[in-house]
């Protein structure tokens, strides 16, 4: 007889078997221990339990997520900008801080010794400024280059992307064969998931790409899809524009990513919730203001009049009324406006400001909740972000457009550079001057910048670029030289001339007075000319 002779398989498998219950209980304990051990080895954000059972996420590509949401995101973003004051202000803040009055350009062509060729640089800058006029640079003749830049950055923020098409022909009497056409993102074919171009390339939401994800061409609707819709994909029904004619502007957050999404996509629901809640509070306050009180009566009351089948009562300021027998008055004192409305709205706006990337103070125009230090810190954080976006705009739009314009201008004879095509890198050197910002605390900041320049931590060019609204050191020095020369010609001395007056308003030692005019009348012969005794 073996040690397992007591084991009866049929008996163990029977319902209610003691051995089976013990075995199942041990298995449950082992499973729980294994699950607990596995949970300890995972990230808290990846655990699945009763608190995270409704948190679902899919590992899909960027284009897969954009494809299903892009049209609705874009439409909702536009609707909020049209109807919501905070959304409108967010776009205005972005346009004003990134572009402002425009992005200046300065040619930086130098000789072999590194000295700037001033005459040639000035000629290029002058011709480029002429091309930037609305009737020349814009195919529609309405947008100056500064206006076009502001429009483009606004579209990128509101719609997520924008197309700028390079039309290689002159407009408005211009000489260089180049103008710009701005196209909304709606013109891109985005309703086909697996469209295939005749040459075999994939068309991903209107962008024809090669095997590396590089854009080869853009497929456009002949007109805005809101005006006309197509039922089937036929290549002959669409416009195919080569990629070298299109500048597709959008922020890449994942790669590969073929299209851009609105910058407010993370806060669209919050903005809509604020809009709905604010409207509900206003309706409740209006309804509450319309009701003064109620009259209770055991029988039908006797109204002063009946209007539209409603019993009404006359009321005037400063009057006393007697109620009829059996009537009682109950006052109505609603809790409207809601005292918690303002702090709740501030809470919502802080989250919205964080999602957009601007400060709460700038978005809400509410400076009552901050002091000088916190406001200054938020403004400095904002400016760091604006500088990043300015650099992105210059790299992706301003510089490519200017370089193509200069090539076209040389080809058309507008700019005379005989060896341009053999030395393009030399002649395409440039400096861009985006808008800067004024001082927050001039007394302290001017002293700090002055000390940084004296110690060699910064240059005067850096200070001017950051604080002088897009001007550069060359512009400032030329203006300053002209100002000092004019004052000298008129024999004027101001305390702003450091060569003649120090910081304490005292004349600098060794400074001579302006030489006298030999033709001037100095008085009678033999007498000393009169001098100022002060």
Supply the pLDDT for residue 532.
Answer: 42
Q: What digits encode the pLDDT tens for the residues 9-31?
A: 665 555 556 666 777 888 888 88
Collapsing DSSP to helix, strand or coil, 219 comes out as strand
Supply the pLDDT for residue 385.
Answer: 92
Supply the pLDDT for residue 525.
Answer: 43
Q: How far is CA 531 from the centre of its chain?
A: 62
User: Where is 280: in which H helix or E strand?
Assistant: helix 268-290
Supply the pLDDT for residue 463.
Answer: 82
Supply the pLDDT for residue 134.
Answer: 95
- Would you call 139 exposed, middle or buried from its count of C-beta atoms within 10 A (0-12, 13-18, 19+)? middle
Q: Which two tokens stand for residue 239?
A: 């416009």
User: Which residue has 């004349």 as its token pair?
Assistant: 507
Q: Is the peptide bond before 337 cis (omega within 30 degrees of 0)?
A: yes
Which portions of the chain are predicted below pLDDT 50? 1-2, 228-232, 515-516, 518-534
Cβ atoms of 433 and 102 closer than 8 Å: no
Cβ atoms of 487 and 480 closer than 8 Å: no
Q: What digits encode the pLDDT tens for the residues 109-151?
A: 999 898 989 899 999 999 999 999 999 999 999 999 999 999 9
Adjacent-strand bridge partners of 166: 180
């Amino acid at each position: 007889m073996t040690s397992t002779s007591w084991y009866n398989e049929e008996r163990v498998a029977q319902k209610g078997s003691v051995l089976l219950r013990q075995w199942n209980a041990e298995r449950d304990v082992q499973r729980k221990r294994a699950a607990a051990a596995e949970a300890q080895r995972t990230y808290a954000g990846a655990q699945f339990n009763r608190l995270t059972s409704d948190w679902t996420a899919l590992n899909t590509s960027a284009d897969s997520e954009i494809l299903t949401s892009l049209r609705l995101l874009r439409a909702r973003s536009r609707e909020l900008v049209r109807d919501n004051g905070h959304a409108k202000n967010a776009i205005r803040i972005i346009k004003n801080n990134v572009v402002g009055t425009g992005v200046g350009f300065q040619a930086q062509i130098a000789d072999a010794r590194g000295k700037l060729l001033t005459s040639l640089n000035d000629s290029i800058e002058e011709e480029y400024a002429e091309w930037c006029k609305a009737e020349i640079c814009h195919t529609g003749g309405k947008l100056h280059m500064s206006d076009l830049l502001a429009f483009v950055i606004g579209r990128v923020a509101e719609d997520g992307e924008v197309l700028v098409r390079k039309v290689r022909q002159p407009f408005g009497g211009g000489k260089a064969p180049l103008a710009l056409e701005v196209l909304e993102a709606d013109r891109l074919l985005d309703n086909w998931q697996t469209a295939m171009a005749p040459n075999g390339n994939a068309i991903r939401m209107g962008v024809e790409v090669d095997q590396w994800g590089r854009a080869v061409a853009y497929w456009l609707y002949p007109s805005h899809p809101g005006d006309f819709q197509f039922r089937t994909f036929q290549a002959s029904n669409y416009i195919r524009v080569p990629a070298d004619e299109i500048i597709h502007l959008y922020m890449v957050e994942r790669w590969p990513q073929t299209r851009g999404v609105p910058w407010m996509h993370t806060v669209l629901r919050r903005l809509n919730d604020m809009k709905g809640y604010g409207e509900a509070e206003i309706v409740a306050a209006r309804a509450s203001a319309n009701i003064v009180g109620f009259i209770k009566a055991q029988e039908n009351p006797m109204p002063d009049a009946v209007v539209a089948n409603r019993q009404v009562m006359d009321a005037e300021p400063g009057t006393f009324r007697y109620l009829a027998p059996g009537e009682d008055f109950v006052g109505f004192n609603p809790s409207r406006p809601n005292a918690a409305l303002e702090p709740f709205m501030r809470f919502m706006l802080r989250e919205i400001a964080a999602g957009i990337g601007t400060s709460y103070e700038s978005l809400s125009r509410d400076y009552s909740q901050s002091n000088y230090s916190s406001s200054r810190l938020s403004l400095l954080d904002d400016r760091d972000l604006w500088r990043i976006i300015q650099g992105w705009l210059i790299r992706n739009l301003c510089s490519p457009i200017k370089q193509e314009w200069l090539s076209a201008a040389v080809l058309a004879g507008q700019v005379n550079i005989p060896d341009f095509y053999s030395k393009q890198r030399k002649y395409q050197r440039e400096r861009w001057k985006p808008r800067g910002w004024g001082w927050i605390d001039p007394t302290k900041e001017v002293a700090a910048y002055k000390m940084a320049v004296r110690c060699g931590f910064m240059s005067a060019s850096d200070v001017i670029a950051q604080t002088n609204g897009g001007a550069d050191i060359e512009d400032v020095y030329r203006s300053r030289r002209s100002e000092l020369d004019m004052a000298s010609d008129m024999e004027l001395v101001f305390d702003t001339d450091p060569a003649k007056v120090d910081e304490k308003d005292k004349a600098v030692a060794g400074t001579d007075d302006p030489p006298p005019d030999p033709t001037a009348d100095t008085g009678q012969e033999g007498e000393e000319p009169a001098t100022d005794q002060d």
